[in-house]
A and B are shown apart, each in its own frame.
Chain A
Amino acid sequence: MTAIKLYFRYIAISVRSQMEYRASFLMNSLGQFLMTGIEFLGLWALFDRFGSVHGWRLPEVALLYGMVNVAFSITDAAARGFDTFGNMIKSGDFDRLLLRPRSTALQLAGQELTLRRIGRFIQGLIILIWAAAEAGINWSPAKIFLALAAIFGGSCLFFGLIVLQATLSFWTTESLEIMNTVTYGGLETAQYPLAIYRPWFRTIFIFVIPLACVNYFPALAILERADPLGMPVFWQWLSPAIGILFLMIALQIWQLGVRHYRSTGS
């Protein structure tokens, strides 16, 4: 319990320090809002030309887009400490964290809540709400819960990816850009129905980086679409839990990394 309290203390401090630069915060948020909005413009233009992709119309794809972007923006704001962890290893600052009587994961998570990510969050949310209204969904309480669970599972999964990326820097000392490829590539991939991709590529996003479990499968249940890949309906409802599992495994691997850690001594 004290851990949660401490976390919120950290976050309050971080928020206050960012609010000192209010103009910069607004500019950055607006910038991000427009940038992600423009990405969506590309999506919209494609549907304007082609009408549909694999039988999915724009509002349906927008549901995928909205869910994954909202999930990612939450993680992107919350996981800043892990995101910049490579620098911490390089400078030796990580030693200080080890001296404190709290878990390293908690301290890193509490390092910063990056407020300007609200740009992507709001943009994703607008698309999500539009999709929820336009995609012809029979909304029920269970479906709303499933959508929220998918977003939560998605945040956990992205968080797990960023933790894994940080863990790698225990061994490499550099933060590896290649992991960004997986994160952002996954984000892009998840914006379209999984069935459009080649089988080997689908396998990656079901079994290795299970993004389909926190986005595509729950979306199928929400839209009541038949799954061309033949996964059963109960799986569509349970799949968001995979995201939480992914984060738990990532944190275990993180612990391994911490045990392996040797300071650079700088």
Chain B
Amino acid sequence: MVLPFYKDALSPMTAYWAILSARFRMLLQYRAAAFAGFVTQLFWGVIRVMIFSAFYRSSNAPQPMTYEEVQTYIWLGQAMLVMLPWNVDPEIRQMVRTGGVAYELLRPLDLYLLWFSRALAWRTAPTLLRAIPLFTVAWLFFGLQFPATWIAAAAWMFATLLAILLSSAISTLLSISLLWTISGEGIANLIFASVVVFSGMVIPLPLFPDWLQPAIKLLPFRGLCDVPFRIYAGHIPPSEYLHELLLQSAWTVGLIILGRWVLSRGMRRLVVQGG
């Protein structure tokens, strides 16, 4: 794919970095949307905390997580919500629909890395805009606690970085699926449904019934929220950090490889409509 002419002009890595940072800066412009998102997430957080507090008050049985841990987990979820791979990149959808995807193929770049860079920017910039004010307000007023220990804080940051990469890999896979489904809404809905539940966004994963836990552990989605959140809250002990982080990395690499393979299959059968 890489033409010799361009190879000299621009090293590929610089190109992806340029795309990433350009998209990132563009997405940072959507401040009004971020503010609306912030208010929404704050409101949701308040509702959810009240609901969980009611459940905890209704039962004396020992639970797999304390109420304080759940509270922190919920607020982290509200702060990181837009980081989830929950929708299809609208511009890529447009490209596939109009045939503009042909131009993407003409670029002297690796299409997977190109789309992955877009996804990475798309997952980080809006998250940063919302997460920082939400963290602050939730800390000050709504019972979000500080990380359990300094080691937990460091491990949490590392796990969050991995979660963003994992999310981008799933996002890119969703974009690629457009080559088959065109509209993508149906598939995106299905993936989103599984992501929301099995990442821990609906209820903290340890609260699911015990018999469901092995199945939850087999899925990659817990690496998006559950693992970083529980590290933060001190619910995962330091002895398990390495194992969890390795698992997260393995899923990310696996999904990237899968994405690349699916994309190459898609390219072989791609028919661009003229006009």
Residues of A whose CB lies within 8 Å of any CB of B are: 24, 27-28, 30-32, 34-35, 38-39, 41-42, 45-46, 48-55, 174, 176-178, 180-181, 185, 188-189, 192, 196-198, 201
Contacts and interface: CB of A to CB of B under 8 A. Distances in A.
6 contacts: A45-B212, A50-B59, A52-B58, A54-B54, A177-B37, A196-B50
A196 B40 contact: no
B interface, over-half SS: helix
A2 to B, nearest CB: 36
Given A31-B186, A50-B58, A177 B40 contact: yes
Most buried by A among B33, B43, B54, B194: B54
A198 B50 contact: yes
A9 B99 CA distance: 36
Given A39-B202, A177-B37, A192 B54 contact: yes
A176 B185 contact: no
A35 B186 CA distance: 11
Contacts of A185: 40, 43-44, 47
B123 to A, nearest CB: 19
B246 interface: no
Nearest to B39: A178
B189 A24 contact: no
A32 B58 CA distance: 32
B81 to A, nearest CB: 13
Interface of B: 32-33, 36-37, 39-40, 43-44, 46-47, 50-51, 54-59, 61, 63, 183, 185-190, 192-194, 196-197, 202-203, 207-209, 212
The 7 A-B residue pairs with the shortest CB-CB distance, nearest first, are: A27-B186, A31-B189, A196-B54, A42-B202, A177-B36, A181-B40, A35-B193
Contacts of B188: 31
A53 B55 contact: yes
B58 to A, nearest CB: 5
Most buried by A among B39, B55, B190, B209: B55
Contacts of A30: 186
